[in-house]
Amino acid sequence: MIRILDPTLRATPPRTTARAVRPARLGGATLGLLANGKTHGMAFLERVAEQLAARHGIVEIVRVTKANASAPALAEDAAMLAKRCAAVVTAIGD
Protein backbone atom coordinates (compact mmCIF):
# COMPACT_ATOMS: atom_id res chain seq x y z
CA MET A 1 0.00 0.00 0.00
CA ILE A 2 1.25 3.48 -0.81
CA ARG A 3 0.71 6.19 1.79
CA ILE A 4 1.17 9.79 0.68
CA LEU A 5 2.17 12.34 3.29
CA ASP A 6 2.28 16.10 2.75
CA PRO A 7 5.60 17.65 3.87
CA THR A 8 4.12 21.16 3.56
CA LEU A 9 1.75 23.17 5.74
CA ARG A 10 -0.74 23.78 2.95
CA ALA A 11 -3.35 21.69 4.71
CA THR A 12 -3.21 24.11 7.64
CA PRO A 13 -3.30 27.57 6.07
CA PRO A 14 -2.00 30.45 8.19
CA ARG A 15 -4.44 32.50 10.22
CA THR A 16 -5.78 35.41 8.29
CA THR A 17 -7.71 38.51 9.22
CA ALA A 18 -10.20 40.44 7.16
CA ARG A 19 -8.83 43.31 5.11
CA ALA A 20 -9.31 46.70 6.69
CA VAL A 21 -12.04 48.89 5.31
CA ARG A 22 -10.62 51.04 2.52
CA PRO A 23 -11.22 54.76 3.06
CA ALA A 24 -13.22 56.38 0.26
CA ARG A 25 -10.94 59.41 0.29
CA LEU A 26 -7.75 60.54 2.03
CA GLY A 27 -8.53 64.26 2.27
CA GLY A 28 -8.02 65.40 5.88
CA ALA A 29 -6.87 61.93 6.90
CA THR A 30 -3.98 60.74 9.04
CA LEU A 31 -1.58 58.53 7.07
CA GLY A 32 0.64 55.94 8.72
CA LEU A 33 4.07 54.98 7.42
CA LEU A 34 5.45 51.62 8.58
CA ALA A 35 9.05 51.13 7.50
CA ASN A 36 10.39 47.59 7.74
CA GLY A 37 13.65 48.64 9.38
CA LYS A 38 15.98 48.32 6.43
CA THR A 39 18.41 51.17 5.81
CA HIS A 40 16.32 53.36 3.55
CA GLY A 41 12.82 52.16 4.34
CA MET A 42 11.58 55.40 5.85
CA ALA A 43 13.40 57.54 3.28
CA PHE A 44 11.44 55.73 0.56
CA LEU A 45 8.14 56.03 2.43
CA GLU A 46 8.69 59.76 2.96
CA ARG A 47 8.75 60.23 -0.82
CA VAL A 48 5.54 58.21 -1.12
CA ALA A 49 3.95 60.31 1.61
CA GLU A 50 4.96 63.53 -0.15
CA GLN A 51 3.14 62.39 -3.27
CA LEU A 52 0.06 61.26 -1.38
CA ALA A 53 -0.07 64.44 0.70
CA ALA A 54 0.21 66.65 -2.38
CA ARG A 55 -2.52 64.79 -4.22
CA HIS A 56 -4.96 64.03 -1.43
CA GLY A 57 -4.59 66.69 1.25
CA ILE A 58 -3.37 64.44 4.07
CA VAL A 59 -3.17 66.44 7.30
CA GLU A 60 -1.00 64.28 9.52
CA ILE A 61 1.61 61.56 9.10
CA VAL A 62 2.49 58.97 11.75
CA ARG A 63 5.84 57.24 11.31
CA VAL A 64 6.90 53.85 12.70
CA THR A 65 10.12 52.04 11.88
CA LYS A 66 10.44 48.44 12.99
CA ALA A 67 13.48 47.93 15.20
CA ASN A 68 14.43 44.85 13.20
CA ALA A 69 13.55 44.03 9.63
CA SER A 70 13.52 40.29 10.40
CA ALA A 71 10.88 40.59 13.14
CA PRO A 72 7.16 41.36 12.99
CA ALA A 73 5.90 44.83 13.84
CA LEU A 74 5.28 45.25 17.56
CA ALA A 75 1.66 44.65 18.53
CA GLU A 76 1.47 48.04 20.24
CA ASP A 77 2.75 49.79 17.11
CA ALA A 78 0.21 47.97 14.96
CA ALA A 79 -2.57 48.85 17.39
CA MET A 80 -1.51 52.51 17.48
CA LEU A 81 -1.43 52.72 13.68
CA ALA A 82 -4.85 51.05 13.45
CA LYS A 83 -6.28 53.49 15.96
CA ARG A 84 -4.84 56.71 14.61
CA CYS A 85 -4.59 56.25 10.85
CA ALA A 86 -7.11 56.08 8.04
CA ALA A 87 -4.55 54.24 5.94
CA VAL A 88 -1.04 52.84 6.40
CA VAL A 89 1.61 52.42 3.75
CA THR A 90 4.35 49.88 4.37
CA ALA A 91 7.33 49.04 2.23
CA ILE A 92 10.88 47.79 2.18
CA GLY A 93 13.71 50.15 1.36
CA ASP A 94 17.32 49.02 1.34
Which residues of the shown chain bind another protein in the complex (CB under 8 A)? 3, 5-9, 14-15, 39-40, 43, 68-72
Residues with Cβ < 8 Å from 57, sequence gap 6 or more? 26, 27, 28
The minimum distance between CB 56 and another protein, in angstroms, equals 28
Which is closer to another protein, CB of 11 or CB of 21? 11
Which is closer to another protein, CB of 14 or CB of 24? 14
The minimum distance between CB 50 and another protein, in angstroms, equals 19
Which is closer to another protein, CB of 7 or CB of 25? 7
Instruction: Provide the Cα torsion 52, 56, 59, 65; round to 10°.
Output: -20
- Residue 32 burial (CB count, 10 A): 25
37 — alpha (psi -120 to 50), left (phi > 0) or beta? Answer: left
The minimum distance between CB 36 and another protein, in angstroms, equals 10
